[in-house]
Chain A
């Protein structure tokens, strides 16, 4: 699975949109872009995933560039409970392990 690159940390004011970038320039055609987050001491929580098209669900939106080399996770109205480490993962749904990397630590402030 392709390697992903994310900023180490980001801040966001409560109520504002949080835009978390991810670079996956070597992603292959059969790899999805997955986003998970991990709130302190809890298990990783699935957020959203996509292949080519932009996706939206009740938690977030995922914007994937046309060349698929990067993507952005958008939390439209961040709350304090969104403070977590966010992981962007390129995964082919092969059945093997997810490579979580180091992720982005998002701090939402009042």
Chain B
């Protein structure tokens, strides 16, 4: 495995509640990504980071924010969770001239 952990691995929350997912890497990769995976849609990019404090939006960024204050950590925040954000969230590292490696995923259920 590529030294990527995600926490929590499973979470159930209620609509309107803020939620933060954490991705932690031990590989010192500059690039980090957050994807979500839903049936019928495959993996879609939410946000990515190309360095500490450098982030950009992906295909499905509405309702999500990210922060990267250290190389090893990339946080994904749902400011006010909605049922449409029920999904499996994957973090990945690598990318620019490098292979992307994925974490184990976080299953989020918003009731």
Contact = CB atoms under 8 A, between A and B. Distances in A.
B84 interface: no
B7 to A, nearest CB: 14
Interface centre among B31, B90, B100, B104 (most CB of A within 10 A): B100
Interface string B66-102: 0000000000000000000000101010011111111
Given A43-B104, A100-B42, 6 more contacts: A42-B104, A43-B103, A44-B90, A93-B95, A93-B98, A100-B43
Given A95-B50, A97-B45, A98-B43, A44 B33 contact: no
Given A95-B31, A96-B95, A97-B35, A45 B45 contact: no
Interface of A: 34, 41-46, 49, 93-98, 100-102
Interface of B: 31, 33, 35, 42-45, 48, 50, 58-59, 88, 90, 92, 95-105
B101 A46 contact: yes
A49 B101 CA distance: 13
Contact of A95 (B59, B90, B95, B103): B95
The 6 closest A-B pairs by CB, nearest first: A95-B96, A97-B45, A43-B102, A95-B95, A44-B102, A100-B42
A89 to B, nearest CB: 10
A96 B44 CA distance: 11
Contact of A44 (B31, B43, B95): B43
A94 B105 CA distance: 23
B96 A43 contact: no
Contacts of B48: 95-97
